[in-house]
Amino acid sequence: MKLLFHMRIFAGLVISIAGIFITMKSEWFYENMGSIPWAEQWLGSSGGSRLFYKLMGVTATFIGFFMVTGLLGKFILWALSPFFAGLKGA
């Protein structure tokens, strides 16, 4: 049980650090991985891919922090409860 606790914290910190890195280095990701056509179409004319990389990094950072604090499961249940009525009683 203690190992699982430490693994959750370690994995959450790694995901948070990766998310921060993706957010800070979105231009590097854009230059090396190229543009994302879907993001260019729906998120902006020439900055859509950069915005997508930043949103992906911020999302990863929040998921990592939720893992560290043990709130990931509760957040997922809260976010999905409007779509699935059975999750409200969980």
Q: What is the pLDDT of residues 22-51, one digit of tens each?
A: 999 999 999 999 888 898 888 876 788 999
Of the listed ranges 4-8, 18-22, 70-74, 81-85, the one predicted with least confidence:
81-85
- Residues in Cβ contact with 43 at an 8 Å cutoff, skipping those fewer than 6 apart: 49, 51, 52
Mean pLDDT of the chain: 89
Of the listed ranges 6-15, 42-51, 56-65, 81-90, the one predicted with least confidence:
81-90
**What pTM value is reported for the model?**
0.82
Domain count, the chain: 1
* C-alpha span between 4 and 57 (Å, rounded): 25
Q: Which domain holds residue 24?
A: 2-87
